[in-house]
Amino acid sequence: MFHKPTKDSVRVAIIQVVIIVFGVLGTGATQHWWALLKKPVPAFQQWVMDWGLVLFILPLGWILWYLRVLRREGTSEELKRLAFQVGLMLAVMLVFLFVASSITVFGEYQSIDIERRVDEL
């Protein structure tokens, strides 16, 4: 299967945690852009800013489940491979979640006159 499955799983879990940290920070950075646009922050984006850190439960749950599957005797290689792939899919889904929550502000920037807004500030 893998050369060092425990080491690989820890790397994937760390990647998931880094995705969550930078995703919440990136989504929080867009809050200032909404203030510049003088529009309220969308509900999905506000949820990510308020509750995004709760998503740390996902990597923790995955790594515990994966290590349990990995250490259990009689577990097929196919199930071990599937459990590892679930971790990779979780990382991709987290990236999609945070990108979706961060890019919504860019569609609104087309309707703003930046020079006029800066003069107002």
Quick: pLDDT tens for 22-62.
999 999 888 888 887 788 888 889 999 889 889 999 999 99
Give this prediction's pTM: 0.82
How far apart CA 53 and CA 19 sit, in angstroms, is 11
Q: What is the domain count for the chain? A: 1
Q: What range does the domain containing 66 cover? A: 5-120
Which is more confident, 54 or 115? 54
User: DSSP letters along 73-118, please?
Assistant: TT--HHHHHHHHHHHHHHHHHHHHHHHHHHGGGGGTGGG--HHHHH
How far apart CA 25 and CA 83 sit, in angstroms, is 29
Give exposure, 51-87, as e/b (b: 16+ Cβ within 10 Å): ebeebeebbeebbeebbebbeeeeeeeeebeebbeeb
CB contact at 8 A, 80 and 6: no
Is a pLDDT exceeding 70 seen at residue 110? no
Residue linked to tokens 């969308």: 42
Quick: pLDDT tens for 82-99.
999 999 999 999 999 999
How far apart CA 32 and CA 76 sit, in angstroms, is 50
